[in-house]
Structure 1
């Protein structure tokens, strides 16, 4: 823990907020069967991380966001956040998109697994590529580079962050699979779950119609006519 200044405030650039309440296991169970693409579609198709690559293979990720904002190329506050992490947390790290130095590597991966962290999302770079290939810990990052981090700070823990174009608040639901990563505020989960289930049912009905050869061929023509396109 960092020393408080004589004024009673944190040093400039350092902030550690308490952990928020984790998501109820009910939501994790419910969303465990919802693909990231469906969550994205039901949030308006303009949400979710851009450019994040899975470095662990094809395993899925689901948990509560523990957010960290760091100086580009520095991992001090990530190390502190892992001390605060609870089983079921997903570390969401805003490293400003910096790809010149990795802020997470093999030793930190081992620490995260020991802490029960269920995923890592990095708006920046990781390293020790081969160690991630076992798939034990889902990891998404913008890139991979051999150059290691500094451990000097500053940084902030449990604050809203921007991660690869995705706004994430502490305690948000974080969903990841082979398509990418999406975060959803807990206040939206009841309605979001309903919309996702309806979407998946519509998609299942469409696939069934394709197999049966009963898909309405005039459906898209009707959309075009409504937009003024002569058919």
Structure 2
């Protein structure tokens, strides 16, 4: 039976250059540009001490039995520069599926970031490193190496669906996956939103913020308040 025992190559994938287009865009802005329908990972936190760390890269996905990292080891041999290793370990934090030794090997191969719906260990090193790391938890207990597991299949991490080859973006607010088929469209919308948000920030700082829309929205919803809604 192949289910649970699949090691696939990525047939299609974003390029590192396409992923890099999203580096300067906040995850919240990208999420808004996707109608807030592709959010997830609320329980996966950035572990890096430097919260300005930004994750951008191309998804190399792994689904593994909770507490087992045999297929994670295999995935390390398949990393291309600019990849983000996205591990669906079932959200279990009993056993770590990756630690400092494995991460160092992955970084040498060009890893751009790590996402684990499960636990990591050697957290002091991972927290202070330059590679962005998102995980559900930390434990000292090591993994088993028996399988089953799958590589380059669709996975879910913290409720976020990630396909192999998607662009993964992460910052202090969380993670999002941008579908390969919509990269240019979503980037264009998000870049426009980011420009508008910069203007809004400047107006908020100078007291020139437009608040007239609030009463219009309240009126449209049927609210009435003397002297304020007209």
Q: How does the TM-score come out when normalised to structure 2?
A: 0.91
Q: In the alignment, what sits opposite 2:43?
A: 51
1:34 aligned to which of 1, 18, 25: 25
For the aligned residue pairs, the C-alpha RMSD in angstroms reads: 1.5
Distance across 2 between alignment mates of 1:71 and 1:23: 27
Q: Does 1:116 align with 2:107?
A: no
Q: Does 1:146 align with 2:132?
A: no
Q: Report the alpha carbon displacement of residue 182 of structure 1 after superposing the two structures with TM.
A: 0.8
CA contact (8 A) 2:15 2:58 kept: no
Against the structure 1 CA distance between its residues 107 and 178, is the aligned structure 2 distance closer, same or farther, given a 3 Å change threshold?
same
Between stretches 73-82 and 14-23, larger displacement belongs to 14-23
Query: Which secondary structure does the structure 2 equivalent of 1:31 belong to?
Result: coil
Task: Show structure 1 runs of 4+ deviating over 6 A.
Answer: none
Q: Does 1:68 align with 2:62?
A: yes
Q: Report the alpha carbon displacement of residue 230 of structure 1 after superposing the two structures with TM.
A: 1.1
- CA displacement 1:59-102 (0-9 Å, x = unmatched): 11110000000000000000001101111110000001001111
Against the structure 1 CA distance between its residues 32 and 152, is the aligned structure 2 distance closer, same or farther, given a 3 Å change threshold?
same
Distance across 2 between alignment mates of 1:213 and 1:64: 41
CA contact (8 A) 2:64 2:88 kept: yes
**Number of corresponding residues:** 222
Query: Which secondary structure does the structure 1 equivalent of 2:209 belong to?
Result: coil
Distance across 2 between alignment mates of 1:76 and 1:25: 26
Distance across 1 between alignment mates of 2:21 and 2:107: 24
Ranges in structure 1 where 5+ consecutive residues have no aligned partner: 1-8
CA contact (8 A) 1:62 1:176 kept: yes
